[in-house]
Chain A
Amino acid sequence: MILSVRDLAKTFGSIVAARDISLDVPAEQTVGVIGANGAGKTTFINMITGHLRPTKGTILFEDRDITGKPSRAITRLGISRSFQVAQVFPSLTVFENLCAASAVAGKDGGSLAGLLSPLESPATLKEADAAIELFRIAQYRNVLASTLPQGVRKLLDIAMAMAGAPRLLLLDEPTSGISVEEKFGVMDVVMSALKSRKLTVLFVEHDMEIVTRFAERVLAFYDGTVIADGPPAVALADPRVQTLISGTKPVGTVLHA
């Protein structure tokens, strides 16, 4: 198992953001995470990436306990993430963004020797161009990130998250802010890029069609915990999921189900 989570919980005062989360993710699996706003999806991702410290429970990554470690340390161990709002460097070009990402991601970000080594090493430039190729954004290579279309910006964010060869990638709503027509195209590019690197992927998504098409397994969150876990066909057919998340059954039916 690349990721094992046991009894994970997070409370903010009297508010319970996550509770009783226990699950295992085998290597190279693609997991779709669904749930309404406030269901605990992002809290879950933030705990794994060290952005939030769990109140209770343990997180094992490749059999190593990473519970409560700072995000920098977790990143260097091999877990990377993209963001709901793409986090790129707006005043650098696409190529410069990727150079910066690959220059620092491979190195110990705190070491003086790493910080004082040249940025534009041949390896860095090569890696940046490989990422541009992989994500098919060559036509935007020298465009400032601040002027990119939303879809390309999201791709760049994910490409930067892949710098430094992580083994587990967490994508927080990779298609949010992208038009319905573009969504599938963007996800095709992302998923084929991630598959080619044999990455384990957890992605948060609201569009059930995208989840059905790209996820091998679905985690359905409701009220801070996982209410369904299984292949898309099974998890999405769960009556509680249909009522509480996908909205294919009217509210109320769940009580009688």
Chain B
Amino acid sequence: MNTRSYIIGALAFAAVAAIAPALPLWLVSLATIAFANALVVLGLIILWRAGLVPFGQGLFYATGAYAVALISRYTGWRDVFVLVAIGALAAGVLAFLIGFLLARYRDIFFAMLSLALSMILYGVLVKTESLGSTDGFNVEPGTFFGWRPHGAMLSFALFWLVLGLSAVAAFLISLYFRTVAGTLAVPVRDNEIRLEFLGVSVNRLIHLKLVISGILAGVGGALAALAVAHVDPNMAYWTTSGGFVFVTILAGAGSVAAAFVGSLAFELIRSLAVDLVPGTWQIILGGALLLTILFLPEGLGSLFQRLRRTPEQPAPEKA
């Protein structure tokens, strides 16, 4: 990522924010959820690059969402910025704590342990009647520094909030990818022995990646809770986590922008499929994933990387 990429990225976010009022409301709501989920996917990309696939990222997503819902239910705090910060903090602390366990595992064991932990939270939420069991409960509309938008205006305000936080996250994560920890993802996947003998604690490196991805998932969950105005245990269920893995494959781990494009594509395909073939929309989603794996194994992100590359800069021959 060079300065030009940052400027293009900033312009893209600004352009989307500017045209939002001209878009149909259903599309704005769809994009709000898509970008909130894209933050979770961004966290998955961080782990994915190191060869780790969390099948239970719903754990942090639900933690962020329930933190927002509980605070707004039991306190008078309504400011969305405060609520999202609390959601991020709750998920980050949880990721830090379970990181001591999870960072020791790799491959399928990492994936399954992360899934198991998310299912524990699901089980707890389902059994807690004071939190509405399987039905969940509603989240009060948020305020923006004292401003209380209603109806369509609330949808736009939430969309701008998600867009703004997405831009900040995209910028920070692209900086992170240039740090020692961010660049050491491939070496973690490639060769842990060499890293250990260079004096690096691989477990601590993975722990750091877990906390960052947990915070991102927490922000995503907090935003989703505000956007849907409702939380329920399904946010921790394994199909939700599987959806994030699905989008990561669709997007590819090649770039930060891919997470947003991939997540938007996923939500569009899903809502169109539900409209067209209500009974069997999963077939269309499955087909889309199949085609991606067959023809774009590095995801949608690899499409615009190909476009950006000039003939003098041949594609790196990476398997």
Shortest distance from the beta carbon of B182 to any chain A beta carbon, whole Å? 8
Given contacts A119-B179, A119-B180, A160-B194, A91 and B319 within 8 Å (CB-CB):
yes
Report yes or no: A118 in contact with B179, Cβ–Cβ below 8 A.
yes
Partner of A91, one of B182, B190, B195: B190
Closest to A161 in B: B197
Report yes or no: B191 in contact with A109, Cβ–Cβ below 8 A.
no
Provide the bound-state CA to CA distance between A109 and B180, in Å.
Answer: 10
Provide the bound-state CA to CA distance between A90 and B189, in Å.
Answer: 10
Partner of B179, one of A89, A108, A115: A115
Is B15 on the interface with A (CB-CB < 8 A)? no
Provide the bound-state CA to CA distance between A210 and B199, in Å.
Answer: 30
Residues 187-230 of chain B: 1 if any A CB is under 8 Å from the residue's CB, otherwise 0?
10111011111111100110010000000000000000000000
In the bound complex, residues from chain A placing their C-beta under 8 Å from that of B191 are 87-90
**Which one of A22-30, A98-106, A183-191, A238-246 contacts B?**
A98-106
Is B276 on the interface with A (CB-CB < 8 A)? no
Size class of the B contact interface (CB-based, 8 Å): 20 to 34
Given contacts A89-B187, A103-B180, A115 and B205 within 8 Å (CB-CB):
yes
Report yes or no: A88 in contact with B194, Cβ–Cβ below 8 A.
yes
Is A92 on the interface with B (CB-CB < 8 A)? yes
Is A167 on the interface with B (CB-CB < 8 A)? no
Provide the bound-state CA to CA distance between A119 and B183, in Å.
Answer: 7
Report yes or no: A104 in contact with B319, Cβ–Cβ below 8 A.
no
Partner of B200, one of A72, A91, A144, A146: A72
Provide the bound-state CA to CA distance between A108 and B204, in Å.
Answer: 12
Given contacts A115-B180, A116-B181, A118-B178, A90 and B198 within 8 Å (CB-CB):
no
Provide the bound-state CA to CA distance between A103 and B190, in Å.
Answer: 17
Closest to A102 in B: B198
Given contacts A81-B197, A144-B318, A160-B198, A114 and B187 within 8 Å (CB-CB):
no
Report yes or no: B197 in contact with A104, Cβ–Cβ below 8 A.
no
Report yes or no: A49 in contact with B197, Cβ–Cβ below 8 A.
yes
Is A140 on the interface with B (CB-CB < 8 A)? no
In the bound complex, residues from chain A placing their C-beta under 8 Å from that of B200 are 72, 104, 109-110
Report yes or no: B197 in contact with A76, Cβ–Cβ below 8 A.
no
Provide the bound-state CA to CA distance between A104 and B181, in Å.
Answer: 9
A-B pair number, CB within 8 angstroms? 95
Provide the bound-state CA to CA distance between A66 and B171, in Å.
Answer: 43
Closest to A106 in B: B199
A58-104 contacts to B (CB < 8 Å) = 71-72, 75-76, 80-81, 83, 87-92, 100-101, 103-104
Report yes or no: B180 in contact with A110, Cβ–Cβ below 8 A.
no
Is A120 on the interface with B (CB-CB < 8 A)? yes
Is A139 on the interface with B (CB-CB < 8 A)? no
In the bound complex, residues from chain A placing their C-beta under 8 Å from that of B182 are 119
Partner of A76, one of B189, B199, B205: B199
Partner of A92, one of B187, B199, B208: B187
In the bound complex, residues from chain B placing their C-beta under 8 Å from that of A115 are 179-181, 184, 204-205, 208
In the bound complex, residues from chain A placing their C-beta under 8 Å from that of B317 are 144
Size class of the A contact interface (CB-based, 8 Å): 35 or more
Is B186 on the interface with A (CB-CB < 8 A)? yes
Provide the bound-state CA to CA distance between A128 and B139, in Å.
Answer: 54
Given contacts A109-B199, A119-B178, A100 and B187 within 8 Å (CB-CB):
yes
In the bound complex, residues from chain B placing their C-beta under 8 Å from that of A17 are none
Is A194 on the interface with B (CB-CB < 8 A)? no
Report yes or no: A91 in contact with B208, Cβ–Cβ below 8 A.
no
In the bound complex, residues from chain B placing their C-beta under 8 Å from that of A103 are 180, 183
Which residues of B line the A interface, CB within 8 A?
A: 176, 178-184, 186-187, 189-191, 193-201, 204-205, 208, 317-319
Which residues of A line the B interface, CB within 8 A?
A: 49, 71-72, 75-76, 80-81, 83, 87-92, 100-101, 103-105, 107-110, 112, 114-120, 144, 146, 160-161, 163-164
List 26 interface pairs A-B (beta carbons < 8 Å), by A numbering: A72-B199, A72-B200, A72-B201, A75-B196, A75-B197, A75-B198, A80-B197, A87-B194, A88-B194, A89-B194, A90-B190, A90-B191, A100-B184, A100-B198, A101-B198, A103-B183, A109-B198, A109-B199, A115-B205, A116-B176, A116-B179, A116-B180, A117-B179, A119-B182, A144-B317, A161-B197
Given contacts A72-B199, A100-B198, 12 further A-B contacts (CB under 8 A): A49-B197, A75-B199, A91-B319, A104-B199, A114-B180, A115-B205, A115-B208, A116-B180, A160-B198, A163-B198, A164-B198, A164-B199
